[in-house]
Amino acid sequence: MKTLLPLLLLLLLTILGCSEPTDQAGSDRNELIEVQGLVVAPLEKASLYIYKQGMDLYGPAFDVSDETDREGKFAISLPEGEYVTVVRKRVTGAAVGPVVAGDNRSEFIPLKVKRGMAQLNISAPIKVGDDRRLTSQDEKTLTGFVGSVRDADGNPVEGLRIQVYDHVQMSERPKYVSEKTGPDGRYQMLLPEGGTYYIGARDNFGGPPKLGDLYGRYDQGTIEPSAVVIRKDEILEDVNIRVTKVW
């Protein structure tokens, strides 16, 4: 029995030594893979927005690349997997918010991230139209509403946008978005047509309001938002909104 033990140990070590090594890198699902590419034209100061499959492509992204350099080059490190990507560059320089006429935007592109993938070349042409048009793009219309945005203490709030929905849940993508409120909290929201709308004001765009965001809905002392009925060629006055911080 004493003679067999060393032989069994030697046999076990020989078998283990002949086994193929485990591919640690391949088994690590959290490994980051660098995705490199070029936004052609070239386009400087554009960003690559990355969404996981099933995410709201108009909401907050899973990840955003640094801005492209003067040659249009970008690089971003992502876990292996399947994504959807879009390139955006807003004239205002903002990282979030609606993409409107004059901004650059690519199509939504399926992206499979894996080792050894080829460089991406993406075209992001200038957007020439937008159903969610801003006030400055609709100066000839005579339909819409005006008002002010104030905080809980009644002070005017600058830099917020009015977002217009056509469903009371106000959970879908807004149909129209205004320019930012001025120092006096005033805004003007011009529309291409009359209708029944539900209105909110917030300082960020995309997805549900988050902690710290300024947010408010137009209501008349009710729990649910109040509908605003606008007729064609009518400008409603004093459609005022009170905003508070989301906690």
Domains of the chain, CATH where assigned: 32-123 (2.60.40.10), 135-245 (2.60.40.1120)
| Residue 85 reports pLDDT greater than 60 | yes
The whole-number pLDDT of residue 21 equals 40
pLDDT at site 190: 83
CA 103/CA 113 separation, integer angstroms: 27
pLDDT exceeds cutoff 90 at 157:
yes
Can you give the pTM of this predicted structure? 0.48
CA distance 205 to 158: 15
- The per-residue pLDDT for 23 is 40
Check: CB of residue 241 under 8 Å from CB of residue 201. Answer: yes
pLDDT at 148 over 60: yes
Phi and psi of 11, rounded to 5°? -65, -40
- CB burial string 81-98: b at 16+ within 10 A, e below: eebbbbbbbbeeeeeebb
